Amino acid sequence: MSFVPHTDPERAAMLKGIGVSSIEDLFSDIPEHLRIEGLALPGAVSEIEAIDEVETLADRNVQTKDMDWFLGAGAYYGYIPAVVPALAGRGEFLTAYTPYQPEVSQGTLQAIFEYQSMTAKLLGMSVVNASHYDGATALAEAVLMAWKAKEGRNRIFLPKDLHPEYSQVIATYCTSFDIEFIRYEGDPAQAPIDERTAAIIIAYPGFSGEMYPISKASEKAHEKGALCIVQADPLMCAIFKSPGEQGADIVTAEGQCLGNPLNFGGPYLGMMGTTDALIRRMPGRIVGQTKDKFGKRGFVLTLSTREQHIRREKAVSNICSNQGLSMLQTCIYLATLGKNGLQEVAKQSYDKAHYAAQLIDIIPGYHVVPKLFFREFLVETPDSATKIVEALNKKSIMPGLALSHYYPERANELLICVTEMNTKAQIEKLASALKEAVK
């Protein structure tokens, strides 16, 4: 099934119109010895067979609902209201292109503008772009943005307590440039930044769940002439002070937790916001409000001279697409939950995580590490965390991430995440299973 509508007579008429006798003639520019006979792939199958085959594969995976789920580590199991996929899946959104022709793309453009508006308030920034591939690439682009903005400075301070995959993506993105990365531990306000520092990155919260207020660190950065980049949990910003309120110059975030499914890691939503001063250095698409000749409000892609299709090698980034549908899901999610709903999701996650931490911290041998956290916290375990995970999996509990997944030497550490999806009963079951696992 190639979804081609032509019948044989139509095809013949078209060839006649072109003035050739066969389709092969149209390929005459391809050197004959390079044309292939066929591909070593199976032949076409029907829709029934294709769906069956893909669903058979899907059935072989373990889903969040199969267990009591406490695994996060950068990808979060949250509730997605039914309206979100129902509306985002409409064909008019799904099968439209990038809104380069604004008159017939007002739906997509207004949705982006609304996303920009809501997330700018959430993160406390003047402007948020129409999105990056994910939180990790958004942060890597923010590093390059800051480095280029601070000409002559080549130091970037990076927290040790940052999602390891984010650190890896930053390393890949910066491989060709003379940037010195300095890893710091603990409170970012204590990091020894200096006049050679282009920026300090603050994880809000860190990978371990630990968070620090940002204001002092951002003040210090500004005193030294450096920029303050914050990698934030956007849901946390619903109840904790926003990075913008605390002096951040660039904020990046992973927006998956705002209405996007886990999907084995993608597509997710790279959020990036900045201040008025840095707008023209920010990569990514931006939508602006304007008017048509009758004075009617409308929306257009704007500040495009930053981008590759105009500035080519001098563009601020090579990024071309955005995560349009993921962004739309988040836009609808935020509109649906609104101010009270989002704060409720965040507060329930916070309350439940703290209830869990309190129960776990009193189990002999277990110790909750972070002092101030949102919904995820690192726990020191009395035995190998991998073994504990395996034991609890047998009881249909996914207790979190054994840190040895990323750091083989950190065998006795478990990262536990609690969201609004977890019930009190699940949390209590988790705590007693953790206790039993090391008897």
Partner 1 sequence: MNAMNMRDEPLVYELSREGRIGCSLPRSDVPSKEIPLEIARSELDLPELDELTVVRHFTRLSQKNFSIDTEFYPLGSCTMKYNPKANEVVASNPGWKNLHPLVGEEYAQGAIELLWRLQEGLREVGGFAAASLQPAAGAHGELSGVLMIHAALKERGETKRKKMLIPDSAHGTNPASCTMAGFTTQTIPSGLDGGVDMEALRAALDDTIAGIMITNPNTLGLFEKNIEDICRLVHEAGGFVYGDGANMNALTGVFKPGRSGIDVMHFNLHKTFSTPHGGGGPGAGMVAANETLAPYLPGPIAVKADSVYRLEMPAKSIGRVKAFHGNFGVLVRAYCYLLMTGSDGLRQVAENAVLNANYLKSLLEKVYPVPYKRHCMHEFVAKGAIADTVHTLDIAKRLIDYGFHPPTIYFPLIVQEALMIEPTETESKETLDLFAEAMKRIAEEASKNPELLHDAPHIAPVARLDEVMAARYPILCYRG
Partner 2 sequence: MAIDKNARYLESHEYAKPEGELMVIGISDHAQAELGDVVFVELPNVGKELDKGVVFGTIESVKAASDLYMPISGKVVEVNEEVKNDPSLVNKDCYGSGWLIKVAPTKLSEFESLLDAESYGTSIGEV
Q: How far is CA 233 from CA 221, 242, 305, 417, in A?
A: 21, 10, 30, 13
Distance of closest approach, residue 128 Cβ to partner 2, in angstroms: 20
* From the list partner 2, partner 1, none, partner contacted by residue 49 (C-beta under 5 to 8 A by kind): partner 1
Q: Which of 345, 363, 385, 434 binds partner 1 (CB under 8 A)?
A: 345
Q: How many residues does the chain have?
A: 439
Q: Are strands 155-159 and 197-204 parallel, antiparallel or unpaired?
A: parallel
Give Cα 431 to chain centroid, integer Å.
Answer: 30
* Short-list 388, 394, 167, 141, CA closest to 274: 141
Q: Is 160 in the site for partner 1 (CB under 8 A)?
A: no
Token pair 């500035």 is found at 311
User: Which residue, 161 or 307, is less far from partner 1 as judged by CB?
Assistant: 307
User: Which residue, 212 or 366, is less far from partner 1 as judged by CB?
Assistant: 212
Distance of closest approach, residue 187 Cβ to partner 1, in angstroms: 13
Site string for partner 1, 197-236 (x = CB under 8 A): ----------------x-----------------------
Site string for partner 1, 361-400 (x = CB under 8 A): -----------x-------------------------x--
Distance of closest approach, residue 247 Cβ to partner 1, in angstroms: 13
Distance of closest approach, residue 189 Cβ to partner 1, in angstroms: 13
Asked if residue 396 lies in contact with residue 68, where contact means CB atoms within 8 angstroms, the answer is yes
Q: Which of 142, 221, 271, 300 binds partner 1 (CB under 8 A)?
A: 300
Q: Which of 187, 216, 355, 361 binds partner 1 (CB under 8 A)?
A: 355
Distance of closest approach, residue 195 Cβ to partner 1, in angstroms: 25
Distance of closest approach, residue 19 Cβ to partner 1, in angstroms: 7
Give the Cα separation of 43 and 298 in Å (integer). Answer: 48
Q: Which amino acid is at 310?
A: I
Q: Which of residues 45-84 bind partner 1 (CB under 8 A)?
A: 45-47, 49-51, 53-65, 69, 71, 73-75, 77, 79, 81, 83
Give the Cα separation of 385 and 403 in Å (integer). Answer: 8
User: Which residue, 293 or 314, is less far from partner 2 as judged by CB?
Assistant: 314
Give the Cα separation of 421 and 351 in Å (integer). Answer: 12
Distance of closest approach, residue 300 Cβ to partner 2, in angstroms: 9
User: Which residue, 47 or 151, is less far from partner 2 as judged by CB?
Assistant: 151
User: Which residue, 191 or 301, is less far from partner 2 as judged by CB?
Assistant: 301
Q: Which amino acid is at 427?
A: I
Give the Cα separation of 269 and 256 in Å (integer). Answer: 6
Q: Cβ contacts of residue 18 below 8 Å, gap of 6+?
A: 26
Q: At what angle do helices 106-123 and 324-361 cross, to 10 degrees?
A: 30
Instruction: Count how many Cα atoms sit within 13 Å of the Cα of residue 332 in the half-sphere of its side chain.
Output: 21
Q: Which of 337, 397, 414, 434 binds partner 1 (CB under 8 A)?
A: 337
Distance of closest approach, residue 305 Cβ to partner 2, in angstroms: 4
Give the Cα separation of 53 and 75 in Å (integer). Answer: 27
- How many residues bind to partner 1 according to rule CB under 8 A? 201
Q: Which of residues 246-285 bind partner 1 (CB under 8 A)?
A: 254, 261-268, 279, 285
Q: Which of 68, 120, 234, 330 binds partner 1 (CB under 8 A)?
A: 120
User: Which residue, 193 or 319, is less far from partner 1 as judged by CB?
Assistant: 319
Distance of closest approach, residue 20 Cβ to partner 1, in angstroms: 8
Q: How far is CA 285 from CA 127, 132, 271, in A?
A: 11, 9, 12
* From the list partner 1, partner 2, none, partner contacted by residue 69 (C-beta under 5 to 8 A by kind): partner 1
Q: Which amino acid is at 379?
A: V
Q: Which of residues 140-159 bind partner 1 (CB under 8 A)?
A: 144
Distance of closest approach, residue 315 Cβ to partner 2, in angstroms: 10
Q: Are strands 68-69 and 397-398 parallel, antiparallel or unpaired?
A: parallel
Which helix (H) or strand (E) element contains residue 350?
Answer: helix 324-361
